[in-house]
Amino acid sequence: MTHQLVLKKPLAFFDLETTGVSVAKDRIVEICIAKALPNGEVVIKDQRINPQIPIPLETSLIHGIYDEDVKDAPPFKAVARTLAQFLDGCDLAGFNCNRFDVPMLVEEFLRANVDFDMKNRRLVDAQRIYHMMEPRNLSAAYKFYCGKDLINAHSAQADTLASFEVLNAQVQRYLGRVVKDDKGNEILLQNDVDVLHSLSASNVVDFAGRMVYNDKGQEVFNFGKHTGKPVIDVLQKEPSYYDWMLNGDFPLDTKRKLTEIRLRMFSSGLASTTRK
């Protein structure tokens, strides 16, 4: 398999099959990665994972993976370092990956105590670009852009390779078109991962979207009673909210980002002096 994407470094398309849709509670049962190299080659890695928790029947009926299928597979912790090495130096891509696959993958690496740095990685979400142009789902996108029916939808490999082919076709189809991002900025679509990243990027602070950036670039809460309020203001006025979130059922990545903001407050002298 080859590609026509212009790449400065590898772009790893990936898809996850999981026990459910909760980043905090659910686990990966399969990961497929199609690593597109700058020389046009594609390297595929497919790995079944033992989630070490039961796979609900309703979930198995969707992706076709049952407890029996993964009972002899390694747990994520056993393959985490190998996967991190395979993804080393790669930007990441997929279909709806920004909302689910990336947060879930980051969470699994955190649980395995494997450092998976996301700071210098570009994220390209073929679904966000697709929805800007032709709002539908992956099967329809595959039919529209590639002229083929998606066989074995909801299997990790089929979805991974389909999203890879969709982005390839999108770049060829829309090359040179001017589109508007979520903020209304006009962007010239080019065969360049930086441009594709800018089209795919969202305003989330943590991957689960519990905190987002507002129009002023401030981190604000995106749930509950403090929705829309700057995180720093809430932590100053209600220091116990930090402890509540740290002890609550929130993803590790959310807690990590919240802690980073709190530490920044202390270093800048903004932390509440009333906190015991």
Ordered domains of the chain (ranges, CATH): 11-184 (3.30.420.10), 211-268 (no CATH)
Backbone angles phi, psi at 267, to 5 degrees: -70, -25
Distance CA 23, CA 100 (A): 8
> Whose structure tokens read 């890695």?
45
Please list the pLDDT of the chain residue by residue as tens digits (276 residues).
Answer: 889 999 999 999 999 999 999 999 999 999 999 999 999 999 999 999 999 999 999 999 999 999 999 999 999 999 999 999 999 999 999 999 999 999 999 999 999 999 999 988 999 999 999 888 876 789 999 999 999 999 988 899 999 999 999 999 999 999 999 988 777 788 999 999 999 998 888 889 999 999 999 989 999 999 999 999 999 999 999 999 999 999 999 999 999 999 999 999 988 776 654 333
Structure tokens at 66: 């049952």
Distance CA 70, CA 237 (A): 48
Phi-psi region at 228: left, alpha or beta (left = phi > 0; alpha = psi -120 to 50): left
pLDDT of residue 185: 80
Distance CA 79, CA 126 (A): 27
Q: Which has the closest alpha carbon to 18: 42, 52, 68?
A: 52
CB 62 within 8 A of CB 154: yes
Distance of alpha carbon 146 from the chain centroid: 24
Phi-psi region of 257 (alpha: psi -120 to 50; beta: other; left: phi over 0): alpha
Would you call 42 helix, strand, or coil by DSSP?
strand
CA distance 25 to 107: 10
Predicted local confidence at residue 271, as pLDDT: 60
Query: Chain-centre distance of CA 219, in angstroms?
Result: 19
State residue 154's pLDDT score: 84
> b vs e for 8-26, b when ≥16 Cβ sit within 10 Å of the residue's Cβ?
eebbbbbbbbbbeeebbeb
